[in-house]
Amino acid sequence: MSEGNLQDLYQSILIQHSKSPLHYGKLEVFTHFSEGYNPLCGDAISVYLSVKQGTIEKASFESASCAICTASASILLKAIEGTKKESFTSIQNEFSQILEDGSKGQTDTLSPDVLAFQGIKQFPSRRNCALLPWTTLKEALDSGIKD
Amino acid sequence: MFNVQSVRDDFPILSTLMNDKPLIYLDNAATSQKPLTVIKAVEDFYKTSNSNIHRGVFRLSELATARYEATRKQFSEFISAEKDSEIIFVKGVTEAINLIASGFAQTIIKEGDEILISGMEHHANIVPWQIACEQTGAILKVIPVLDDGSLDLLAFEALLSEKTKLLSIVHISNSLGTINPIKLMIDKAHALDVPVLVDGAQSAPHMEVDVRDLDCDFYVFSGHKLFAPTGVGVLYGKEKWLEQLPPYQSGGDMIEKVDFDGTTFKGIPGKFEAGTPNIAGVIGLSEAIQYLQKLDRAKAMAHEISLLDQATEGLSKIDGLRLIGTAKDKASIISFVFDAIHAHDVGTFLDAAGIAIRTGHHCTMPLLKSFNVPATARASFAFYNNSNDVDCLVESLKKMKSFFL
């Protein structure tokens, strides 16, 4: 690993998302909510969803988290808004695939920004940072409980 | 002057490369590196002396037993215990505190009693007491931490009462480096007949410990932070307390006689050492103690403090960096946060420069919550670190700022 690898991990698109995350803040009205924690580093994220007739109409998050986690949440919530609840699994699988096999170089449903996560393969200890928003969103969808 | 280069040569890992850079190891509060003598002692034990202890009548087993028990004696002298039987070998501090908490819950703590800990405890000195309180109906009380990372001693005195059944307190904070005035706290607690457990995980590696001078009732520490292998540690307890507490685990080697009608236990220390212990770990610990005894520990600590001072000065000059824990009395542990860069990202950036630091909550989530930060970056120095290590840390952090901001 070197500073070159660091550039792979912290690609400028990822840094941009982490500095100015999309969909940041608490939804005034939401139907689904979950909090996720990364016990390794103490990161915490809250995900808010407003789901109507199976469609995720609005999605937002708040977090105290690292650049990787914040950028991942930003890209995820942008991607998820307007989609059907059921499509989450396939979106999640696509993201997992990018984390595991960075070489693909293209995306199906996710924004190409997500390819910025290809470099994470070289940093196994940071994988959970990228995954935390995704597991938290999944819990929110499963719970359906408004907190 | 402390000869740093000479001790560095004793630790083989310090001359290795990490990410193509010379390794700069600044995570000593998590675990220390091991001198070659310790590594060789463990290897030699398995090569020439391996046998179970307290069992065999053959020579090999007798020799292993003798070495194991000699280490108990050596330890007893190392921390100035009154009796060798007051030294119990355990896995580490976590097991030691669980042993005491479980014993107190079974025999001493009753509903409405109080256990007093502080706001800067490691999870290992919080969770066992929460469980003990749940089991007994006792109440966990917490001494607050002031903004500079020192304990609120006035609050401490107010919290101590006849209801307090134990004060369990960290000697040196693993997250902040604060050295707590434990002698004074022990005196105050004893004035009300409250026994005191001292978590020495961070103090044993940095200073000489004299349990009789401290007059603590329990003192616990982990071998792996004391330049010895992982999986071995020591629980010191005053005989009167160890006699009162029930066994923590049971099975082989802790009994005198087993019958289906009933079992009688060994006395201390055997009562607390069920099953085959970490014999090789104890041998390694013995070697680590010998290594430390050859050092001038006062000079070693002065050297560590000079590294702390250098780091404090260097880090304080970096804009956007805030130190967490600025108590007057500190050991060589320094925690910091950046306004705009998360600790985890700091850790990854430094790693690329070969610098190993800890990032996160350091198993002290309530403490970090009180400072209103989710995570810090923490550099912790041992006597084998040098001034160049601190310079590299400071320079890399400066470079990091231009990378992220």
* Alpha carbon distances (Å) from B312 to A86, B232, B280, B315, B379: 53, 33, 39, 5, 11
The range of the structural domain enclosing residue A133 comes to 3-143
**pLDDT tier, A116 (very low <50, low <70, confident <90, very high otherwise):** confident
Least confident of A38-47, B114-123, B167-176, B355-364: A38-47
> Which pair of structure tokens corresponds to residue A108?
């199906």
Q: Is B251 a residue whose pLDDT tops 80? A: yes
Of A42, A66, A70, the CB nearest to B361: A42
**CATH number of the domain encompassing residue A101:** 3.90.1010.10
Q: How large a percentage of chain B has pLDDT more than 70?
A: 100
Spatial separation of the C-alpha atoms in residues B192 and B114, rounded to whole Å: 13
Residue B374: list chain A partners with CB under 8 A: 41-44, 64-65
Closest chain B residue by Cα to residue A3: B352
Q: For residue B357, what pLDDT is reported? A: 98
Q: Mind listing the pLDDT tens digit for each residue in B13-58?
A: 999 999 999 999 999 999 999 999 999 999 999 999 999 998 888 9
Residue B173 has pLDDT above 60, yes or no: yes
- pLDDT value, residue B317: 97
Read off the pLDDT band of A42 (50, 70, 90). confident
Whole-angstrom Cα distance, residue B343 to residue B358? 9
Q: How far apart are CA A35 and CA A47, in angstroms?
A: 6
A127-143 helix and A67-80 helix, angle to the nearest 10 degrees: 40
Give the three-class secondary structure for B126: coil
Question: Catalytic site residue B216?
Answer: no
Task: Please write the tens of the pLDDT for every residue from B54-81.
Answer: 888 899 999 999 999 999 999 999 999 9
* Mean of per-residue pLDDT scores for chain A: 87
Q: Which residues contact A138 (CB under 8 A, 6 or more apart)?
A: A88, A92
Question: Distance (Å, rounded) from C-alpha A32 to C-alpha A145?
Answer: 5
**What is the ipTM, given to two decimal places?**
0.86
pLDDT value at A121 more than 70: yes
Tell me if A64 and B359 make a contact (CB, 8 A cut-off).
no
Of A116, A99, A41, nearest to B345 by C-alpha is: A41
Closest by Cα among B371, B181, B387, B232 to B303? B387
| Overall residue count recorded for chain B in this entry | 405
B121-136 pLDDT, tens digit per residue, is 999 999 999 999 999 9
- Return d(Cα A109, Cα A127) in angstroms, integer: 21
Question: What would the DSSP string read from start to end of B212-254?
Answer: HHHT-SEEEEEGGGGTS-TT-EEEEE-HHHHHHSPPSS-STTS
Give the mean pLDDT of B231-243. Answer: 98
Instruction: Identify whether the C-beta of residue A136 lies closer than 8 Å to the C-beta of residue A47.
Output: yes
Residue-wise pLDDT tens digits, B218-235: 999 999 999 999 999 999
Identify the burial level of A103 via C-beta atoms within 10 angstroms of its C-beta, where 0-12 means exposed, 13-18 middle and 19 or more buried.
exposed
* Residue A147 confidence (pLDDT): 45
What is the tally of structural domains in chain A?
A: 1
Predicted local confidence at residue A1, as pLDDT: 59
B341: chain A residues, CB-CB within 8 Å? 67
* CA B398 – CA B94 distance, rounded (Å): 37
**Region for A65 from its dihedrals, namely left if φ exceeds 0, alpha if ψ lies in -120 to 50, beta otherwise:** beta
Q: Is B376 helix (H, G, I), strand (E, B) or coil?
A: strand
Q: How far apart are CA B224 and CA B284, in angstroms?
A: 10
Q: Which of residues 295-354 of B touch A (CB under 8 A)?
A: 341-345, 348-349, 351-353
Domains (ranges, CATH) in chain B? 4-30+296-404 (3.90.1150.10), 39-293 (3.40.640.10)
Residue A103 reports pLDDT greater than 80: no
End-to-end CA distance of chain A: 43
